[in-house]
Amino acid sequence: MNALSRRRFLKISAATFGAGAAATQIPPLTHLAHAAAAPGEVTTVPTFCEMCFWRCAGFASVRDGKVWKFEGNPIDPQSRGRLCPRGSGAPGAINDPDRLRTPLIRTGERGKEAWKTATWDEALTHVAERMQKIKGEHGPESIAMLYHGIGVRFIQHVLKSYGCINMAGASFAQCRGPRDVGFNLTFGQGLGSPEPTDIENTDCLVLIGSHLGENMHNLQVQEFSNAVARRIPIIVVDPRYSVAASKAKYWLPIKPGTDLALLLAWMNVLVTEGWYDRTFVAEHGLGFDKFVEEIKSATPEWAAAETGLDPALIRKTARELSLRRPASLIHPGRRVNWYGDDAQRSRAIALLNALLGNWGRRGGIHIQNGIKVAGYPLPKYPERTKPYADNPNGEKYPFADEQVTTGIREATITGQPYPIKGWFVYSSNIIQALPNRAETVKAIDSLDLLVVVDTVPSEIAGYADVVLPESVFLERHDELQIGWGRRGWVSLRQPVVAPPHEQKPGWWIAKQLANKLGMPEVMPFNDIEEYLKARIEKSGWDWAKFKAEGVILGEKKPTTVEEGVQLAFDTPSGKVEFWSQQLKDKGFDPVPKYTKHEEPPAGHFRLITGRAPVHTFSRTQTNTLLGDLMRDNEVWVNTATAAQIGLKNGAYVQLKNQDGIVSNKVRVKATQRIRPDTVYMVYGFGHTNPALKSAYQRGASVAGLTTKYKTDPLMGGTSIHSNFVTFMVEA
């Protein structure tokens, strides 16, 4: 499969040179937010970050017409004035030499590696013509969208206005979806982003696989660091001695795939010993007796055999948890699609939090507050007449409350329930984001149109029919960031510098596309500032002040019972559902049950994955600042295991998975920091598009080795810790 995909990489880079002549006939972009400054003089412009999806607000400093640095905005609740390394590294995205520069149209057949540079007019005419053809033959529903990022807002709006209905982000089925479904089934509410975890005030924190500190969700890392400084007991459950584990009072080096056994055992201890919050359960719980019956057999001794953890340690940590409730918090995690039963595991985390009675409590899971922002009058979308293709009538994944990327991919391959003939891919390198690359390529083969909007020649851009180069976030306006948290907030994205070539912002691309599709009325403003200003002024705020300060904070409202919140649960019963009738009705376990996962074959190791603080997915490897800090990933192998099989620290190896897929070469990190039966790599590396020059074939791709995956029957999440690898030592 690797050979197949390599053959198909398109030499975008070659096509981008000499493209300066590609003229555009478009209204000029909104001028920049800062006035021209004298040489050496520094001006600052507030905007919010898109280096990841936490979206911190910051101030960009401009010197001699270039972005010098990017720093946090002190009034922003997401960053509290301090950005993470990716935010600080944002200027490196502007300077990335591999950026897409002009629109590109594939010439000849897909896979022939031939491109021509195009004007925006040509490229969008091409896209619109093919869209009209697909709409004429199959209906607008046959054009789907896969996306990630706030910049998609207006392109998505135009597609919806056109009648498209199939749109999914990998942020659901390949990330936080199982967690939100598990919490929704229990408390009647998903958690979203930012997670309402009151780490700042908790007295006991449990992280299960969450590697805060390596995973730089800014506010959470700040609160975690404060928690470490407060010397509260921290319990980290991870097969790897993560940075967080090194700060913990207890590290539980669990056997991967057995977390649910530990969770059930913890609940068993809390219930058996009477250490749970009886008042909370009596007042808000439903089906508690039946729940107790179900977890009766999950003793620490039973769990010990599954997890490899000492039963005494399981009891001891359960005691720690109970002693500090309700200010005792099991972090719900974020990227939780591990084994294909993740919604149920997340539900177990929700239930454990419920036993601690921490919902809506100080130091637990706080109540979120939003902020009301006036809308902008836009025409209504056409009524939906066909079922969603990924999950028709909710029959495939009954508890999915967002669309499923891999469901759209499957519908594209099978043509069921109806053909999918066009894809718009916005800023999401689905070659690495979705499991099993061969299936993605197969789906692409059956498309009549693949449009990729991105800032860099990502791997998916290599497969596109039309590539539309977007400006990076420091060069563009976007939709308002309207956030939920302890306090609601709104932040503004505005251009700090002009894009260096023909790159354009998403809203502009959307407007031109709407014109080409003959529906200019769906984008009824000439310039996005008109739209943003109208929303802000209609909400009663001062536009000039917002432009200068970058953030508006919502009213301060209570977030905990201690501050006066009245708890309410939006489940069918209005209660916290310890035993779930909804699940029972659809044929699932009403209380999570542990099932054993497949073991690695002889000589193989389970491959698990996670993040590095300086990179976001596969998006940042060519950033001049961040790429320089971490060029490659490494494969972590326990020192003893490495010695046994003759792997030297620092030597290059290739990994071969159970299906015979061989990775790119990757350096061995022989370390005490991981279980002997497990190997670990940071994902997002091993790029296969040669146009990403500084990242091309640097390190190995976790996604490339993820050929086997399980799909969560509740909500369509796909597992990524379900592959086994062996080592091929280079001669």
Partner 1 sequence: MARFGMVIDTARCVGCMDCVVACQTENDVPTGFCRDWITTEVRGTFPTLTMEIRSERCNHCDNPPCVQCCPTGASHVEPFGKTVQVTANRCIGCKACIASCPYDARFVHPKGYVDKCTFCLHRTKEGKDPACVSVCPTHCMYFGDLDDPQSTVSQLLTARKWHTLLPEAGTRPRVFYLT
Site residues, partner 1 (CB under 8 A)? 68-72, 79, 82-85, 88-89, 91, 212-214, 216, 218, 221-222, 224-226, 228-229, 241, 243-244, 246-247, 251, 253, 613-614, 624-626, 628-629, 638-640, 671-676
Closest separation in Å from C-beta 82 to partner 1: 5
Q: Using DSSP bridges, classify how beta strands 666-671 and 551-553 pair: parallel, antiparallel or unpaired.
A: unpaired
Cα 20–chain centre separation: 35
Q: Collapsing DSSP states into helix, strand and coil, what is residue 395? A: coil
Q: Specify the residue, 56 or 714, whose C-beta has the smaller distance to partner 1.
A: 56
Closest separation in Å from C-beta 596 to partner 1: 23
Closest separation in Å from C-beta 17 to partner 1: 22
What is the number of residues in the chain? 731
Task: Please name the residue ranges forming H helices in 151-286.
Answer: 153-162, 170-171, 177-187, 218-229, 243-246, 259-272, 278-284
Q: Specify the residue, 447 or 674, whose C-beta has the smaller distance to partner 1.
A: 674
Distance CA 200, CA 226 (A): 7
Q: Which 8-state DSSP code applies to residue 711?
A: B
Q: Specify the residue, 496 or 513, whose C-beta has the smaller distance to partner 1.
A: 496
Q: Specify the residue, 90 or 714, whose C-beta has the smaller distance to partner 1.
A: 90
Would you tell me the crossing angle of helices 153-162 and 506-516 to the nearest 10 degrees?
20
Closest separation in Å from C-beta 80 to partner 1: 8
Closest separation in Å from C-beta 186 to partner 1: 31
With CA atoms as reference, report the closest residue to 604 among 559, 567, 565, 637. Answer: 637
Q: Specify the residue, 80 or 547, whose C-beta has the smaller distance to partner 1.
A: 80
Closest separation in Å from C-beta 67 to partner 1: 9
Query: Is the bond leading into 194 cis (omega within 30 degrees of zero)?
Result: yes
Q: Specify the residue, 222 or 328, whose C-beta has the smaller distance to partner 1.
A: 222
Q: Specify the residue, 85 or 417, whose C-beta has the smaller distance to partner 1.
A: 85
Neighbours of 262 (CB within 10 A): 27
Q: Specify the residue, 246 or 297, whose C-beta has the smaller distance to partner 1.
A: 246
Q: Specify the residue, 167 or 221, whose C-beta has the smaller distance to partner 1.
A: 221
Closest separation in Å from C-beta 446 to partner 1: 42
Q: Which 8-state DSSP code applies to residue 662?
A: B
Q: Specify the residue, 42 or 305, whose C-beta has the smaller distance to partner 1.
A: 42
Q: Specify the residue, 426 or 617, whose C-beta has the smaller distance to partner 1.
A: 617
Distance CA 62, CA 33 (A): 11
Burial class of residue 137 (count of CB atoms within 10 Å of its CB; 0-12, 13-18, 19+): exposed
Closest separation in Å from C-beta 44 to partner 1: 13
Closest separation in Å from C-beta 308 to partner 1: 10
Q: Collapsing DSSP states into helix, strand and coil, what is residue 203? A: coil
Cα 142–chain centre separation: 25
Q: Collapsing DSSP states into helix, strand and coil, what is residue 369? A: strand
Cα 401–chain centre separation: 16
Would you tell me the crossing angle of helices 437-445 and 405-414 to the nearest 10 degrees?
50
Distance CA 603, CA 598 (A): 14
Closest separation in Å from C-beta 273 to partner 1: 26
Q: Specify the residue, 132 or 694, whose C-beta has the smaller distance to partner 1.
A: 694
The torsion angle over the Cα atoms of residues 45, 48, 52 and 53, rounded to 10 degrees, is: -170
Q: Which 8-state DSSP code applies to residue 495?
A: -
Q: Specify the residue, 216 or 514, whose C-beta has the smaller distance to partner 1.
A: 216
Closest separation in Å from C-beta 330 to partner 1: 20
Q: How many helices (H) and strands (E) does the chain have?
A: 26, 25
Q: Which 8-state DSSP code applies to residue 200?
A: G
Closest separation in Å from C-beta 253 to partner 1: 5
Conformation bin of residue 683: beta by default, left when phi > 0, alpha when psi is -120 to 50 = beta
Distance CA 473, CA 468 (A): 15
Closest separation in Å from C-beta 41 to partner 1: 15
Closest separation in Å from C-beta 430 to partner 1: 27
Conformation bin of residue 435: beta by default, left when phi > 0, alpha when psi is -120 to 50 = beta
CA distances from 106 to 20, 101, 102, 586 (A): 18, 15, 13, 46
Closest separation in Å from C-beta 245 to partner 1: 8
Q: Specify the residue, 247 or 721, whose C-beta has the smaller distance to partner 1.
A: 247
Distance CA 384, CA 381 (A): 9
- Helix H or strand E segment including 583: helix 581-585
Q: Specify the residue, 456 or 561, whose C-beta has the smaller distance to partner 1.
A: 456
With CA atoms as reference, report the closest residue to 653 among 667, 632, 669. Answer: 667
Burial class of residue 550 (count of CB atoms within 10 Å of its CB; 0-12, 13-18, 19+): buried
Residue 577 tokens read as 């559902």
Neighbours of 596 (CB within 10 A): 9
Closest separation in Å from C-beta 395 to partner 1: 44
Closest separation in Å from C-beta 72 to partner 1: 7
Q: Specify the residue, 132 or 225, whose C-beta has the smaller distance to partner 1.
A: 225
Q: Specify the residue, 146 or 647, whose C-beta has the smaller distance to partner 1.
A: 647
Spatial contact of 678 and 621, defined as CB atoms under 8 Å apart: no
Spatial contact of 448 and 421, defined as CB atoms under 8 Å apart: yes
Distance CA 474, CA 105 (A): 26
What is the edge-to-edge ordering of all strands in the sheet holding 250-252?
A: 250-252, 234-237, 204-208, 328-330
Distance CA 100, CA 458 (A): 9
Cα 473–chain centre separation: 17
Distance CA 698, CA 330 (A): 36
Closest separation in Å from C-beta 402 to partner 1: 30
